[in-house]
Structures are given as C-alpha cells and as structure tokens.
A and B are shown apart, each in its own frame.
Chain A
C-alpha cells in the first residue's frame, strides 16, 4: 500500500514527529503490513499516543462503516474508524444515544475503546469500555479475534484502555442508551471555592446524570477553586415543550474555523484571568434549569474547528489526573495551589467525580476525582512544573491519563499503573514481537519485556 511520510502530531500539537502513514480504504486492508505500527483514528489524543516516530501509522478514517443498528435493542456495530459524530447522526433520530461520550464528537469509535474514554456520567455509568459488547481485534500475525467481557476477556480488558498496543481495533459493538428527545435539561451552580465544589459534587440532590465542574484556575487564597458546577440529563417527556414538532431533531451547528495559529501573546495571565472571570459570572447565572440541544451541551468546543490553534504554534499540553477518593480533596487542592503559584496559567480546568474503577488493565479511571488542565507551551518551564504535579499525583495515589499525555516518565507510569504486569502478559501473548508500538509506548517503555 502507498505510504506518505510527513510530520504529524496529536491534538495538542506537541510533539511533532515524522511518521510513515498508510490509509487503508477496505476492511481487508486493515492489517499489520509493516514491522511496527499503531492505528490512528482522528488524531484527537493530545500527545504522542497515535504517533510512531520512524515507524508506521495506520489511519483508520476511511474504515468507517456502520454495520448494524438494532433499533429495538439499541445495539450498534461499526468499523472502528467511524466518528462519534457520524454515529450520533445515525442513532439520535431513532431515539438512541451514546452510553458514554468524551468532550468532542470528532473522535473515532476505535479511539474511544483504546483510550477507554469517560464522560460527565462516569460516576454513574463508568467508562466507555463498560458499554462495549464485543470487539474484533486484528492481531500482530494478521489473524482476527472476537473478544468480549465473556469471550477472551483478558484480551478484551487489555484492549479496552490499551492505547492500541494490543492490535488494531477493527469492529466494535456497543450498547446504546434510550433517549426521549435530542434535548438536555441543564442547571448550573455558581460555587465560591473548592470546598463547596466538592460538597456539591458529593451531594446526591444536586447531582445529575451528567455532572461536571468548571474551575477558575487563576484565583488563589480563599477563592481557590471557585467555579461553576454544571448538571444535566436527557430531557424527560414531561420536561419537553408542550408542542414539539420533531423531538429527535438534530440542529446542524455551523462551526467557526480558527484560521491560523494565534500569536503567543494572545493567551497570557491577563487574558485568561479576564476570560475566567467573565465565564464564572456568565455561566454562574444559569441557576434555573434550561433546555438545550445535546450538541452544544456535550461538545461546546466542537463549535470552533481547529481550536488547538488558539494555543499558538508551540502547541499545548493537557494534563489530566485522577486522585482516589480518600485523598482527592488534598491532592486537587495541592495541584491547584502549585499551578496558581507558577507562571503557567491554565486556560481551562475541569473537575469531575469518577465512579467505579474500569476493568481495563491500563484504563485511566478510578473512584475519585479527576482534574483536567490545558496548558500552553510558552517555554520549557512547563515541563518541570508538570513533573512536580506528577509527584503530587503519585503521593496521593493517583495517575495521569495516557490519552492526553506527552511527557510522563517511564518510572512515574509504572508507579501509576499497578496492573501493568498483568497487561504485559496478555500483550506478550498476542504480540510477542512487540510490533504494535507508538511514540507513547516507546517513551514510557510500555510493551518492552525487561
């Protein structure tokens, strides 16, 4: 198959590496044709998870067919390259929704499995892998295996959250959830500090199917961690307007494109501080419940194409960590303090409560709280700062999300992911030559036998 050598990066646009790209268009061509490879869907992981410097990258974007939609039982089977956007366009008009969705719909189904993504409903429904009924995995020797929680469950749980390192995810079958309309019923709580945010997230009366807190990461002292807790659910029959023409209508949003890299000075402490203050008061006003389409609710940033260009040419790092329940408040507080005391403002900070730990051996989620930060790379000082955050995370028993990582150390990775040896056993069994590699796996020494 023809290949294309070009510099590529993840969504954070750091690092940029030269990779040899293949793009199969037929399902039969989705196979390990080169010595070392990694599958890449939409390239929406932030760091180097879908890069393979000096090796092959198999683009799955043309292997994107919907194969089965059972509208009676809410079951969907599709090729892994299909995006959540395409899936939603097919299922929402029929009264179904994704059981779990990350914050962008421009990700591939295979990527959702490989990163075992989570959404705002993790505390109720767990991560994506919980809702996967089965996977067809294309192994290193080219053979295909159907695995599920019942059948070859070790391969299944090594693949869910396995960052594409067990093989190419070919087809995925998922269980959908039923919805009464395409509308969401949403309510916000303006919250003055971190203590109050934790109290609200723990409070069952304030909680909803989807709950998330936006945090103003630039205020310190008594106001540290002030923010807005946002709760929502798919609107029930009695919450819909009396007369509704088509309850499953999908409104087409016209996305605005960011045409070029923003110059470095546009995102500075001053502009971010101003933006955060505005956002805090504006979103904090929405204290009474309101109806909105699912699209802007789940995917606010999808309204801006190429929003990663706002971080300038240098790119940005997303730092997402989870801290287990017992130590979460102290841990998150320590991270926010370290951050506000540094010269590196975070444009975005999002806090979520997570429920039961995923069964994926390398999955990110565990019961506790997760904080996600967007940090522009303005100078090299960001790297030691994030190493300090890693230390805080490890001291509190937490871990960093591989799908967003670009700079973790192998030592930290091994401390954070205690089920690694178990995963490695499965990996060695189905990919003995370690052909499935990525820049991430090479950096963190994942898959290498000692």
Chain B
C-alpha cells in the first residue's frame, strides 16, 4: 500500500506546514488546490527539502461534481492513498455574509464542499479498513458569535459531520481526527485586531501530524483553546446574547 497523504487546500500556510511535517516523516504527498503555480512551487519545495515524491493537481472545493473523478485520479496516480487532510476553508467577509449570496459561498466551501469530499474518502477507506481522515475545522464552530456566525456555523456543521464519520468508521479501524485551531498566524488572521496567543503554522502542522500517534479524536491547537472554548460554551445564553463577541 502506498504511503501517500492527500492534502486538500494545500497552498494555505497551515496545509503547507502540515505537508512539511508529513514529508519530514517520509510520507509521499499529493497536493490539491486551485492555484496551479502555487502548487508547483510548493511541490518542488517539499521534494527538495525532504526528498519525498510530491504530486499535485487542481481541485475546487465548491465544484462538488468534480470530487469523485478527482479522487479516483489521485488514487490511481498514487497507487492508493493512506490518509487525507482536509485543510481548505473560506473565511469570507463576515459583514458581506449578512447578504446570503456571500453566506451561501461560505457554507458551500467550508461545509458542503468538505462533506462531499469526505463522503468519498470515507467510502474509499471503509472497505480497506485502514487509513485516516483529518479535518481542520475551527474553534469558531463551537459557539455562534455575531462576529463570524456564518463561517462558524459551516465549521460547526463540519465538526458534527466529522463526529458522525468517526462513529461510522470506528469499527473499520479508520481514524477520523477533528482539528480545531484557535488563532494561527496565517493570511486569514494577519493584521486582525484583538488577536492573542497566536500559534505559528509550523506548530500547528507538527501537532496535526503528531495527533496520529495519540488517541485524541478532537484536538484544539494550541491545547489551551479547549479550555477557552469550554468556558465560552458554558456561558448561559441569556448572558451570552448581551456580549459583544
């Protein structure tokens, strides 16, 4: 069986760091994203630095009809895959998302696109009784807040979807890991006011790969976000609705 990891949304900072952490372990990689030039550069870089085989192809999360043929092509080209990291996501403009045309795009990318692709992955790994699925959602999905509830709702739905997949695939030995990053120093957060305890993409990438050796199903990155979100989730709604979060 091939030891290739398929990474979707591979040109983001978190995905690049995760890909590097897999490559450092000796995994071959298949990188998928929309930007061909970036894919080519990132693939060359990982190949030179880590000496692993890196292939790449164009992938659009929102074009769900292309997911099945794309996945079959990857499996064929790499002679099977051993794991999938779903790292794409779209924050969008949260004010613009009050108009549902924008909101729908956020949901189409973060949830519908993700659910479509994960279904295909699950159907592939289940009969093999082998493999892993890592889905990157967000702490924003743990509670709806006025500042980003459309993105949060899509990520929250993805978290639930992953939870269901984990339940379904447990008996077949396929690992499903939900990753919930807090603030990470990426293009998404650069220049945002009010950030604190920002983690580097390298830290997040190493922890994501490291999670495969541990038993946790849901990992918060950095770890203390589990407790921040625990508090936030337990604020009673009659207080929470008055808060400007």
Could you list which residues of chain A lie within 8 angstroms of chain B, going by C-beta atoms? 1-4, 21, 23, 25-28, 62, 65-69, 79, 86, 89-90
Contacts and interface: CB of A to CB of B under 8 A. Distances in A.
A2 B190 contact: yes
B38 A26 contact: yes
Contacts of B35: 26, 28
B112 interface: no
Interface in B176-193: 186-187, 190-192
Interface of B: 11-13, 35, 37-38, 41-42, 44-45, 48-49, 186-187, 190-192
Contacts of B186: 25
A2 B189 CA distance: 9
Contacts of B12: 25
B22 to A, nearest CB: 17
Contacts of A62: 13
Interface centre among A25, A86, A89 (most CB of B within 10 A): A25
30 contacts: A1-B187, A2-B187, A2-B192, A3-B191, A4-B190, A4-B191, A21-B191, A23-B187, A23-B190, A25-B12, A25-B186, A26-B38, A27-B37, A27-B41, A28-B35, A28-B37, A28-B38, A65-B41, A65-B42, A65-B44, A65-B45, A66-B44, A66-B48, A66-B49, A67-B44, A67-B45, A67-B48, A68-B48, A89-B49, A90-B49
A85 to B, nearest CB: 12
A271 B35 CA distance: 56
Given A23-B187, A28-B38, A90-B48, 11 more contacts: A23-B190, A25-B11, A25-B187, A26-B11, A27-B38, A65-B42, A66-B48, A66-B49, A67-B41, A79-B41, A89-B49
A3 B192 CA distance: 8
Contacts of A25: 11-13, 186-187
Query: When A and B form their complex, which 9 residue pairs have the shortest distance between CB atoms, in order from nearest?
Result: A65-B45, A2-B191, A4-B191, A66-B48, A65-B41, A69-B48, A25-B187, A66-B45, A2-B190
Contacts of B190: 2, 4, 23
Contacts, number: 46
B168 to A, nearest CB: 35
Nearest to A5: B191
Nearest to A69: B48
Contacts of B11: 25-26
Contacts of A89: 49
A109 to B, nearest CB: 13
A243 to B, nearest CB: 25
A64 to B, nearest CB: 8
Nearest to A71: B48
Interface centre among A65, A69, A86, A90 (most CB of B within 10 A): A65
B77 to A, nearest CB: 22
Nearest to A67: B44
Contacts of B38: 26-28
B51 to A, nearest CB: 9
Nearest to B50: A90
Contacts of B13: 25, 62
B67 to A, nearest CB: 24
A95 to B, nearest CB: 14
Nearest to A23: B190
Contacts of A79: 41
B90 to A, nearest CB: 15
Contacts of B187: 1-2, 23, 25
B191 to A, nearest CB: 4
A3 B187 CA distance: 10
Contacts of A2: 187, 190-192
A144 to B, nearest CB: 12
A2 B190 CA distance: 6
Interface centre among A1, A27, A68 (most CB of B within 10 A): A27
A2 B45 CA distance: 26
A3 B12 CA distance: 18
Nearest to B11: A26
Contacts of A67: 41, 44-45, 48
Nearest to A59: B190
Contacts of A4: 190-191
B49 A68 contact: no
Nearest to A82: B45
Contacts of A1: 187
Contacts of A23: 187, 190
A52 B12 CA distance: 28
B150 to A, nearest CB: 19
